[in-house]
Chain A
């Protein structure tokens, strides 16, 4: 029986549409394709590539060239040298693209590749089962866990996202993202969406509020901003002035309805909050200013299993178990009730409190200790520690080597004893009370007479 090899074009866009706003102006789909095809023929002959490009158009180009050349793009969870080196060691047949060099890793700079004059190209077809990317999630330990993305997964997931996130009546949309293209949220929205819908993405990745505002100003309307609650909160608070933004998409952490309403008021925008994970991709959305329920994309089904709520979809290679507690409310709708108590999410990284607590209590000199999230709105973890012979700074130094920096507790308070129950359990409410009390005492102490200071 002949094996039917399914394949699909790398983009569904028309040749004369705009796919990106680069450093020297708008880039048409045909120009982009010609460039990507040319680049694909000049890549080092290796199986994997670590795409470090910070310029979003360069990332898009490098990613697509790699897909055409049947090379898999590795996306490390952060840009720390140690993490990059770890990934490069594990996937030894790799080179790096568009970023600073790594030890003993071949690197390719985009400046080495000229844009071709001829732009009459045939749209490359990509086999459905081609491994295109490995997205790593970090976890609290910083040890990257791989999630494999085949072309079929990326393509069908993107078509689902087009359906969920873009309105066909809107026409073209000019998109700016503050999130890195190497993170699943930024990858799906700012790299894959432009291949499958009428979206032109800015090459910029602004950080400071004024830069976000300037970058938006430079884009034609209608505009969309892709970001996270922490970044959007800073953007709003900085008062950089009013600018019209048609859509604001937010993910990586829960957004409060208050923030959504303020953003909508200031920028005449509609705020769309998006729900997903590196394993599943985007699965749902809601208009946070007015809705509490999440609308699940039609490509996905949820069912409750022993291990929690599972996500199923024809294009996912395996079932994904949600790290969240949700209530299925109706046809393709659900209510988010919270994360599993053990899970924390900081700066788009997920970690396990059990693991962090284990590490804290393993430090010599720590008699007892607990790391926890003081309240829902906290941006940081905090710690209470019984360690008569250690200073908080010593404890942090000991924690640092093994964990993702975003999970380092701040503040660390020393206490005489932790109020454990007879079973050894620590009630969250009592921990938070003790924390608040210690914080108040410390504030009083700091404000005390100068002769008490050390």
Chain B
């Protein structure tokens, strides 16, 4: 498995915590695996919850215009890159 960067680790913890993924530990999330669909199996309810958690923690409002949603939520790596970019 690829190693998570420090920021990715932080976002991974936010994902596990905000979505109650009790069977998964933050360090188990593969940085480049899909979060939705076949990967972690997240759905639209999760996407809303996660967007809210991100807004609360990083003061970032996600929008679909910035990039396509699938791109942003595609993987842990793309999501944490998106957050870094918006908070930079």
**A86 contacts the other chain (CB 8 A):** no
Task: Digitize A92-110: 1 where CB-to-B-CB distance is under 8 Å, 0 elsewhere.
Answer: 0000000000000000000
**A211 and B65 in contact, given A393-B23, A411-B22 (Cβ under 8 angstroms):** yes
Shortest Cβ distance from residue A116 to the other chain B in the assembled complex, whole angstroms: 31
Contacts of B63 in A (CB 8 A): 208, 210-211, 214
A396 at interface by CB-CB < 8 Å: yes
Cβ of A405: which chain B residues have Cβ within 8 Å of it?
Answer: 41, 43
| B52-67 contact mask (Cβ, 8 Å, vs A): 1 or 0 | 1001000001111100
Q: Which of B23, B43, B52, B65 contacts A392 (CB 8 A)?
A: B23
Q: Which residues of B contact A408 (CB under 8 A)?
A: 41
Count B interface residues, CB 8 Å: 21
- Chain B residues contacting A211 (CB-CB under 8 Å) are 63-65
* Chain B 9-61 residues near chain A, CB threshold 8 A: 20-24, 41, 43-45, 47-49, 51-52, 55, 61
Whether B45 and A209, one on each chain, are in contact in the complex, defined by CB atoms closer than 8 angstroms, is no
Q: Which residues of A370-402 have CB atoms within 8 Å of chain B's CB atoms?
A: 379-380, 391-393, 396, 400
Question: What's the Cα separation between A207 and B47 when bound, in Å?
Answer: 9
Q: Is B81 an interface residue (CB 8 A)?
A: no
Contact A238 B69 (CB under 8 A): no
- Distance in Å: Cβ of A154 to nearest Cβ of chain B: 27
Q: List 21 A-B contacts (CB under 8 A).
A: A208-B64, A208-B69, A209-B61, A210-B61, A211-B63, A211-B64, A230-B45, A230-B48, A237-B52, A238-B51, A238-B61, A240-B61, A346-B45, A347-B43, A380-B20, A406-B43, A406-B45, A410-B20, A412-B23, A413-B22, A442-B22
A interface with B by C-beta (< 8 Å): 206-211, 214, 230-231, 234, 237-240, 346-347, 379-380, 391-393, 396, 400, 405-406, 408, 410-413, 442
- Which 3 pairs across A and B sit closest by C-beta, in order of nearness? A210-B61, A411-B22, A234-B48
